[in-house]
Structure 1
Amino acid sequence: MPGSSLTDRRKAETRLDIARTAASLFIENGLRATRAEDIARAAGVAPRTFYRYFATKEEAVAPLFAAGAQQWAEAVRGAPAGLSVRDALRHAAARALVPDGDAEALEWVRSLLRMAGESAALRAVWSDACHASEETLISVLAEREGGVGTPSPSPSASPSLELRLVAGVASAAVRVAVETWAAGDDPAEGPAGPAALAVVCVDRLEGFRWP
């Protein structure tokens, strides 16, 4: 229904607005000093509205983590059909993990990942985003597999061990690349940026048997 679609979009926009506000406050004032009520007030919503979307202040930045992680998985979906899995992953990494007009979001991710080193709650949010991206990648790889002459699994079928392994290895490579970049001070673009590092990580998996 069009109304439901509009409502969903508005909810997604509200979630992202709160996420951006939370990230900004965490970076400006520190994670410990920032309360959920502070985030709600700065985002222009009532505390009860905040808690309708997020259970904790750390979870408020989940949309920022999820957006980047899902963008990478969807970029694999958009890779040219004739590419091998490895080349599709390289293609996606080189295009999805770049500023693309929103360099601030990547810098927020860098700062948040550094904070996660001292916050188990924030690490859990990052881990959940990576896991969700991996699940999306499993579906994407199944679709690509089906598109080259192999029947893709039915919606009720469990992904094969090989499919899960490929998605897990690929996701780990990208996660390591992003976390390595975040730990340093190099810009998001260039040979030490997350996109370039992700390509390097995929290339170094030479012994892995890609489908």
Structure 2
Amino acid sequence: MPAPDRPPLSLTERRKAATQQEIALAAARLFAEHGAEATTAEDIARTSGVSLRTFYRYFRTKEDAVAPLLAEGSRRWVALLAATSPGTPPLTALLDSARAALAPAPGHPAESLAWTRGLLRAMPDDPALRDVWHRVHHDAETALHPVLARLAGLDAEGLDARLLTAAANTAMRVAVETWAAGDAPPADAADLAGAAFRRLAGPLLPPA
């Protein structure tokens, strides 16, 4: 059965999300320009035009501030999968949703992926940023699980559904990390994700 529609966000929730995104973009810019170690929460708050008190209302640490930016693609991907028409082959759904989630679009500019690339490149030297990235993908896997189990016609509590979800989530993460390590344009991130998903085709994920 199709995923249930979510109620629209309230004005307060939309404003909160917009503020979090502005702070995330400011943090990403500062980390790219000066490094995370040299950037303070005060710097991020000032650059994003909020008070330090407001910053800490939304984020526990300066590294946490980039979580909304890093999570943006995963949220879009899961939402697009959830909106997939019943009967769509799972591999087709994964390919189409990944391409749409990673492609620049209104409200999802190419600059967001560019900042993500910079953050991923900084992670080998920053354990706190790595922790944020892996937490983002843990949360994405939790959200992805019931959606992908439904699309694949699998028991959500069963081993097959859990394996498929973990593999698909890891494929998306590895594709984005591989793209970030090079100099390819944003569209290539979607191509890499598609190649990763095709490699999963087999007993758990029939070819499209």
TM-score normalised according to structure 2 size: 0.87
1:84 aligns with: 89
Question: CA contact under 8 A between 1:58 and 1:121: conserved in structure 2?
Answer: yes
RMSD, aligned α-carbons: 2.0
1:210 aligns with 2:205: yes
Q: Match for 2:119 among 112, 117, 129? A: 112
1:56-71 matched pairs, under 5 angstroms: 56-71=61-76
Match of 1:27 in 2: 32
CA displacement, residues 64-113 of structure 1 (integer Å, 9 cap, x when unaligned): 01111111112212233222212211121122112225010000000000
Matched AA of 2:61? T
Which residue is equivalent to 1:156? none
For residues 92-103 of structure 1, the aligned pairs below 5 Å read 92-101=97-106, 102-103=109-110
2:30 and 2:44 in contact (8 A); partners too: yes
1:132 is the counterpart of 2:139: yes
Residue in structure 2 matching 1:122, options 122, 129, 134: 129
For 2:127, the aligned partner's letter is A
CA contact (8 A) 1:130 1:171 kept: yes
Extract unaligned runs of 5+ from structure 2: 1-6
Preserved CA contact (<8 Å) 1:73 1:134: no
Cα displacement string for residues 123-146 of structure 1 (whole angstroms, at most 9, x for unaligned residues): 111111111111111121244356
Q: Return 136-145 or 126-135, whichever deviates more.
A: 136-145
Aligned partners of 1:68, 1:80: CA distance in 2, in Å?
20
2:174 matches 1:176: yes
AA in 2 matched with 1:160: G
CA distance in 1, matches of 2:94, 2:33: 35
Asked if 1 retains the 8 angstrom alpha-carbon contact of 2:88 and 2:151, the reply is no
Provide TM-score, normalisation by structure 1. Answer: 0.86
CA distance in 2, matches of 1:138, 1:117: 28
Cα gap change, 1:100/1:208 in structure 2, threshold over 3 Å: closer, same or farther? Answer: farther
* Partner of residue 161, structure 1: 159
Q: Name 1:9's counterpart in structure 2.
A: 14
Instruction: Give me the whole-angstrom Cα distance separating, in 2, the residues matched to 1:143 and 1:205.
Output: 18
Residue 200 (structure 1) aligned with residue 195 (structure 2)? yes
Runs of 5+ unmatched residues, structure 1: 154-158
Judge conservation of contact 1:15–1:53 (CA < 8 Å) in 2.
Answer: yes
Q: What displacement does 1:210 show?
A: 2.1
- Aligned partner of 2:44 in structure 1 is 39
Counterpart position of 2:3: none
Contact 1:170 1:202 in 2 (8 A): yes
